[in-house]
């Protein structure tokens, strides 16, 4: 058998640099701050850092609007700091996965500044331009941050496309020169020694605006194959594509190793189960565990033989999982561990978002003035104009705003949670005295050490990496249980997703591998009553 890919038994930790650790007191996290915390990541045991963008950016979308792909934003440090980070990570056995944001640039990128000047500028065709229809935009395509996706540009009297903020014009991937520039840039970073790329909204690069096609355009996979050939192919890096619009069929296209595209995708079906179908993420619907299980099981099965899943609850775009589907009050610790168990027991590469490993919670927003994120602010304005009630808007924002995940990392109980010695760019969650890394490290029963165990198990137990997946009791509304099997080893993962005790039956006994409650070393599963948010991983005997 060919040597297994290293990323199959790896765990990724996402750093949102702005909010991770500030080393120079300007209130903004930075690269040297990250360097000062590598010991912490090593103690947790992770293998890869997914570093959200650190490139120069006007920050219309916190760094996802890049004005120079070859540089480092001064607020984050220098290229020398970045090189030192890569090097120091390497010494600790940690790889850096860079965020590759190439569906769009910033409107302050040199290419766009040139492109907008005239219709015959050599960079014009790097972007997507169209004439309006009378006084209206070319068509009805919408921006993910609200409003029409076309912005009028005075200089030439045409509109340009932006699927996100108007300061994030979409690149024209049809243009070979654009692709060549991107391959060159990727190779530059590969040569610097990075371990891979996380590709921002990669499923929309094959857009066909004339036909209003956004995701999964006809040339998407050809572009990815070309990218693979021209950049990371055969170099043992890790690549993951962020795909909001993927289904299991396209998931296979992206991640089937024989197709030479990406290693895995980051898709969101399981994270959309509490949203009204056809609506936006703000259109809340009550959570049903059965729907969550169905989504996970579908993807586990679809990519079982070919392809690979990413496993995640959180990112800088999602609310904190313990507040969302756990209990961030009296069962915060139990429910955070339970959620971790559900996720880390499955097949795929797990991702941890900074602070998840200590059970950080959503922020207690009081009003619209507490929000920073462009998506949240735009949504508030639009829904106000359309006549939504303030109370309903706030309910959606509190539940789903990206700002929930972006508050500073809580390191200790000193001022500003030890994140900065200055004034933080965004408010620290007031619960930092209770919830912080220092406290977690002092408590052997903390969420942190539980995550560390899960990470260790992934490295040591091939059944977690390669085992088959079988969902148990899919219709049970309270219990999330499944079986993994590999080379005769059978593991059962059983979790009570709620506060009320729940009964589970399985005709076997289990040797307990890990649990968030004290357990006998062998438990009878014929009839077991699970306590609030109880989670058990056991080997069937």
- List of residues 6+ apart from 59 with CB closer than 8 A: 65
- List of residues 6+ apart from 300 with CB closer than 8 A: 309, 346, 347, 348, 469, 471
**Pair of tokens at residue 155:** 């200089």
Q: Cβ of 131: how many Cβ atoms within 10 Å?
A: 10
**In terms of CB distance, is 138 or 241 closer to ligand NOJ?**
241
Contact 244, 213 (CB under 8 A): no
Window 287 to 326, contacts with ligand NOJ (CB under 6 A): 316-317
Say how far apart CA 405 and CA 200 lie, in whole Å.
18
101 binds ligand NOJ (CB under 6 A): yes
203 binds ligand NOJ (CB under 6 A): no
To the nearest whole angstrom, how small is the minimum distance from the Cβ of residue 311 to ligand NOJ? 17
243 binds ligand NOJ (CB under 6 A): no
200 is catalytic: yes
**In terms of CB distance, is 281 or 316 closer to ligand NOJ?**
316
To the nearest whole angstrom, how small is the minimum distance from the Cβ of residue 203 to ligand NOJ? 11
**In terms of CB distance, is 200 or 215 closer to ligand NOJ?**
200
DSSP 58: -
DSSP 142: B
| 116 phi, psi to nearest 5 deg | -80, -15
Q: Cβ of 236: how many Cβ atoms within 10 Å?
A: 11
**Which residue from 201, 398, 479, 513 is in contact with ligand NOJ, where contact means CB under 6 A?**
201
**Which residue from 30, 47, 61, 534 is in contact with ligand NOJ, where contact means CB under 6 A?**
61
To the nearest whole angstrom, how small is the minimum distance from the Cβ of residue 375 to ligand NOJ? 7
Say how far apart CA 45 and CA 263 lie, in whole Å.
22
64 binds ligand NOJ (CB under 6 A): yes
Window 122 to 181, contacts with ligand NOJ (CB under 6 A): 164
Contact 345, 482 (CB under 8 A): yes
Q: What are the b/e assignments for 264-288, b being 16+ CB within 10 Å?
A: bbbbbbbbbbbbeeeeebbebeeee
To the nearest whole angstrom, how small is the minimum distance from the Cβ of residue 217 to ligand NOJ? 17
Say how far apart CA 280 and CA 358 lie, in whole Å.
30
To the nearest whole angstrom, how small is the minimum distance from the Cβ of residue 91 to ligand NOJ? 29
Question: In the bound complex, which residue of the shown chain has the CB atom lying closest to ligand NOJ?
Answer: 64
DSSP 70: T
Say how far apart CA 231 and CA 47 lie, in whole Å.
22
Q: Is 116 left (phi over 0), alpha (psi -120 to 50) or beta?
A: alpha
Catalytic residue among 47, 242, 334, 356: 242
To the nearest whole angstrom, how small is the minimum distance from the Cβ of residue 68 to ligand NOJ? 16
Give the distance from CA 480 to its chain's centroid: 22
- Closest of 367, 437, 440, 422 to residue 398, by C-alpha: 367
Contact 483, 492 (CB under 8 A): yes
Window 457 to 516, contacts with ligand NOJ (CB under 6 A): none
**In terms of CB distance, is 201 or 457 closer to ligand NOJ?**
201
Size, binding site for ligand NOJ by CB under 6 A: 9
**Pair of tokens at residue 95:** 């790889």
Catalytic residue among 81, 200, 317, 416: 200
274 is catalytic: no
**In terms of CB distance, is 64 or 469 closer to ligand NOJ?**
64
**Which residue from 30, 200, 226, 357 is in contact with ligand NOJ, where contact means CB under 6 A?**
200
- List of residues 6+ apart from 179 with CB closer than 8 A: 173, 223, 226, 227
405 binds ligand NOJ (CB under 6 A): no
To the nearest whole angstrom, how small is the minimum distance from the Cβ of residue 402 to ligand NOJ? 7
**In terms of CB distance, is 64 or 491 closer to ligand NOJ?**
64
To the nearest whole angstrom, how small is the minimum distance from the Cβ of residue 432 to ligand NOJ? 24
**In terms of CB distance, is 241 or 418 closer to ligand NOJ?**
241
Half-sphere exposure for 174 (CA within 13 Å, toward CB): 11
**In terms of CB distance, is 64 or 482 closer to ligand NOJ?**
64
| 7 phi, psi to nearest 5 deg | -75, -5
To the nearest whole angstrom, how small is the minimum distance from the Cβ of residue 29 to ligand NOJ? 16
**In terms of CB distance, is 317 or 356 closer to ligand NOJ?**
317
Give catalytic residues, as residue numbers: 200, 242
Instruction: State the residues that interact with ligand NOJ by CB under 6 A.
Output: 61, 64, 101, 164, 200-201, 242, 316-317
């Amino acid at each position: 058998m060919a040597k297994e890919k290293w990323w199959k038994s790896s765990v990724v930790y996402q750093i949102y640099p702005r909010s991770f650790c500030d080393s120079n007191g300007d209130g903004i996290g930075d690269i040297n701050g990250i360097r000062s915390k590598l010991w912490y990541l090593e103690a947790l045991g992770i293998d890869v850092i997914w570093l959200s963008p650190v490139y120069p950016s006007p920050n219309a979308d916190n760094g996802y609007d890049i004005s120079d792909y070859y540089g480092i934003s001064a607020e984050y440090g220098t290229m020398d700091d970045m090189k030192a980070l890569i090097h120091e990570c390497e010494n600790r056995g940690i790889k850096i996965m860079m965020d590759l944001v190439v569906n769009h640039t910033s409107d302050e990128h040199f290419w766009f500044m040139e492109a907008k000047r005239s219709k015959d500028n050599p960079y014009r065709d790097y972007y997507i331009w169209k004439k309006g229809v009378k006084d209206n935009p070319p068509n009805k395509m919408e921006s993910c941050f609200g409003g029409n996706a076309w912005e009028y540009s005075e200089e030439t009297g045409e509109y340009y496309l932006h699927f996100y903020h108007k300061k994030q014009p979409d690149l024209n991937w049809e243009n070979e020169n654009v692709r060549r520039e991107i391959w060159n840039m990727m190779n530059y970073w590969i040569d610097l020694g990075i371990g891979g790329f996380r590709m921002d909204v990669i499923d929309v690069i094959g857009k066909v605006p004339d036909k209003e096609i956004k995701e999964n355009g006809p040339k998407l996979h050809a572009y990815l194959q070309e990218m693979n050939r021209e950049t990371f192919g055969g170099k043992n890096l890790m690549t993951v594509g962020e795909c909001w619009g993927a289904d299991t069929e396209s998931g296979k296209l992206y991640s089937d190793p024989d197709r030479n595209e990406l290693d895995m995708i980051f898709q969101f079906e399981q994270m959309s189960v509490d949203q009204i179908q056809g609506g936006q993420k703000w259109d809340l619907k009550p959570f049903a565990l059965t729907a969550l299980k169905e989504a996970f099981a579908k993807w586990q099965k679809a990519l079982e033989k070919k392809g690979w899943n990413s496993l995640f609850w959180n990112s800088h775009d999602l609310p904190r999982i313990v507040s969302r589907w756990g209990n961030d009050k009296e069962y915060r610790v139990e429910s955070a561990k339970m959620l971790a168990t559900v996720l880390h027991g499955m097949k795929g590469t797990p991702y941890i978002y900074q602070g998840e490993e200590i059970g950080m919670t959503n922020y207690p927003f009081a009003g619209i003035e507490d929000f920073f994120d462009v998506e949240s602010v735009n949504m508030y304005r639009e829904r106000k104009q359309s006549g939504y009630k303030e109370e309903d808007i706030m309910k959606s924002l509190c539940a789903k705003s990206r700002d929930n995940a972006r508050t500073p990392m809580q390191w200790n109980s000193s001022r500003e949670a030890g994140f900065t010695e200055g004034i933080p760019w965004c408010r620290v969650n007031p619960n930092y005295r209770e919830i912080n890394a220092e406290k977690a490290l002092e408590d052997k029963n903390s969420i942190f050490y539980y995550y560390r165990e899960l990470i260790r198990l992934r490295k040591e137990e091939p059944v977690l990496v390669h085992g088959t997946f079988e969902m148990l009791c899919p219709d049970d509304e309270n219990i999330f249980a499944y079986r993994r099997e590999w080379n005769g080893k059978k593991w059962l993962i059983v979790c009570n997703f709620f506060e009320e005790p729940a009964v589970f039956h399985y005709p076997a006994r289990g040797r307990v591998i890990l649990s968030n409650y004290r357990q006998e070393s062998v438990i009878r599963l014929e009839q077991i009553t699970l306590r609030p948010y109880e989670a058990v991983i056991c080997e069937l005997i």
